[in-house]
């Protein structure tokens, strides 16, 4: 059975959402601010504006990012300190957060305190402990919070899930998420052009002198993120758990190493194995090879096999043969637009969105567990009573 909110945090009762003081009419525009205007923040902000929202304010610690974002939203006011933005921009309805992982929790908490709805990029948290705190923070508030895991709003993925629910694959015994990109390179540590507020970038992370590569490729350092294990893994492991109705894994083992991304702390090649009790999953990434380029998830059942990827999905019946044609197939991309629209609809309806904090916490729990297993060099188990590992 799927894991519920109360099972994840037994002592926490979900607070009811409320109708906002400004009731939206058919022609009303949602006003929003962007916290962190790097590539992802600018990309999703453009989708917000195409969907009819108005970008009122922008915040970033790196001046060149702000300048680029300002080109897309010339009427938006700019800030370096997100606390100042939230204090001054009282008229905004929502906040888009696309910061490094270590800033997710403090930025989310600040936005909730300011009574703003939030679209937060994945992964939800930097640690298992943060996941539990973030669930509690959201449920103590009256805000709508959507986590940016767009597969939850993809019609083709939903159709594929229904096939699994209908028993087309039979008993699933093994699931194989993978991601192959040949993009691993030595990290660039040359001087940064433009002005950077390094102290604000660090936030609650360990204080240290500026190394430009730590800003450029923050995802590959433990102080700021969980690497591609949690970044890409939160997408794929969510689909695994969603389709199998399993909840997070019971335990994980993992090995990885830095093959070509010299200077990084996180590996660019790794493989994790998860025990879900009734089935196993292997989550493998190689950023030094482009065979089967991109992401895919293969579900192996005793009646059939399903392959999901960027193009859509295919299902093959058992017993498989090299000449076999798929018995089900659909070509369909995974749209961010549908996920943003779901968020906007929920701002107006005050309903829970497609990807709640509980879903996102469960999705990243396995990758967090795998990172711990890799660092400690042993199997790590997820405690049943909450987000703790042993």
Write the CB contacts of 193 (distance below 8 Å, at least 6 apart in sequence): 64
Cα 292 to the chain's mean position, in Å?
Answer: 22
Region of residue 52 (phi > 0: left; psi between -120 and 50: alpha; otherwise: beta): left
**pLDDT tens digits in sequence order for the chain, 390 residues long:** 333 333 343 333 333 333 333 444 444 899 999 999 999 999 999 999 999 999 999 999 999 999 999 999 999 999 999 999 999 999 999 999 999 999 999 999 999 999 999 999 999 999 999 999 999 999 999 999 999 999 999 999 999 999 999 999 999 999 999 999 999 999 999 999 999 999 999 999 999 999 999 999 999 999 999 999 999 999 999 999 999 999 999 999 999 999 999 999 999 999 999 999 999 999 999 999 999 999 999 999 999 999 999 999 999 999 999 999 999 999 888 889 999 999 999 999 999 999 999 999 999 999 999 999 999 999 999 986 667 788
Q: 96, 94, 63: which is closest to 79 by C-alpha?
A: 63
Rounded-to-integer distance, Cα 225 and Cα 57, Å: 26
Strand bridging mode 54-59 / 31-35: parallel
Write the burial class of residue 49 (CB in 10 Å: 0-12 exposed, 13-18 middle, 19+ buried): middle
Report CA-CA distances (Å) from 101 to 36, 47, 82, 387.
11, 21, 15, 18
Q: Are the C-beta atoms of 249 and 282 separated by less than 8 Å? A: no
The encoded tokens of residue 33 equal 């601010």
Rounded-to-integer distance, Cα 318 and Cα 353, Å: 37
Helix H or strand E encompassing 213: helix 212-216
pTM of the model: 0.92
The encoded tokens of residue 215 equal 């800003």
Domains of the chain, earliest start first: 30-152+337-356 (3.40.50.720), 155-334+368-381 (3.30.360.10)
Strand bridging mode 312-317 / 304-309: antiparallel
SS3 371: helix
Write the burial class of residue 13 (CB in 10 Å: 0-12 exposed, 13-18 middle, 19+ buried): exposed
Q: 104, 98, 110: which is closest to 55 by C-alpha?
A: 98
The encoded tokens of residue 382 equal 């997820």
SS3 103: helix
């Amino acid at each position: 059975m799927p894991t519920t909110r109360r099972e994840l945090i037994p002592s926490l009762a979900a607070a009811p959402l409320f109708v906002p003081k400004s009731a939206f009419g058919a022609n009303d525009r949602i006003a929003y601010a962007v916290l962190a205007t790097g590539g992802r923040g600018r990309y999703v902000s453009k989708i917000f504006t195409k969907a009819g929202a108005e970008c009122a304010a922008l915040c970033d610690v790196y001046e060149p990012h702000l300048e680029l974002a300002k080109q897309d939203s010339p009427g938006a006011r700019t800030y370096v300190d997100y606390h100042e933005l939230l204090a001054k921009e009282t008229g905004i309805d929502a906040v888009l957060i696309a910061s490094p992982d270590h800033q997710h929790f403090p930025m989310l908490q600040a936005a909730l305190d300011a009574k703003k709805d939030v679209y937060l990029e994945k992964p939800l948290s930097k640690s298992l402990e943060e996941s539990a705190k973030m669930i509690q923070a959201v449920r103590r508030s009256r805000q709508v919070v959507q986590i940016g895991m767009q597969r939850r709003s993809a019609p083709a993925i939903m159709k594929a899930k229904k096939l699994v629910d209908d028993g087309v694959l039979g008993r699933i015994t093994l699931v194989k998420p993978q991601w192959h990109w040949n993009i691993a390179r030595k990290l660039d540590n040359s001087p940064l052009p433009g002005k950077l507020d390094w102290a604000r970038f660090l936030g609650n992370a360990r204080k240290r002198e500026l190394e430009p590569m730590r800003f450029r490729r923050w995802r590959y350092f433990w102080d700021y993120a969980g690497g591609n294990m949690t970044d890409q893994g939160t997408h794929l492991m969510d689909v695994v758990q969603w389709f199998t109705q399993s909840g997070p894994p019971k335990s994980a083992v993992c090995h990885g190493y830095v093959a070509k991304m010299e200077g990084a702390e996180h590996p660019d090649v790794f493989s994790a194995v998860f025990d879900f009790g009734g089935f196993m999953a292997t989550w493998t990434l190689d950023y030094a090879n482009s065979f089967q380029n991109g992401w895919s998830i293969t579900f192996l059942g005793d009646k059939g096999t399903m392959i999901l990827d960027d193009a859509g999905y295919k299902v093959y019946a058992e017993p498989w043969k090299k000449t076999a044609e798929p018995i089900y197939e659909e070509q369909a991309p995974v749209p961010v637009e549908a996920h943003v629209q779901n968020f906007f609809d929920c701002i107006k309806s005050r309903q829970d969105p497609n990807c709640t904090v509980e879903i996102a916490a469960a999705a990243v729990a396995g990758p967090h567990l795998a990172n711990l297993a890799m660092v400690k060099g042993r199997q790590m188990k997820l405690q049943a009573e909450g987000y703790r590992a042993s």
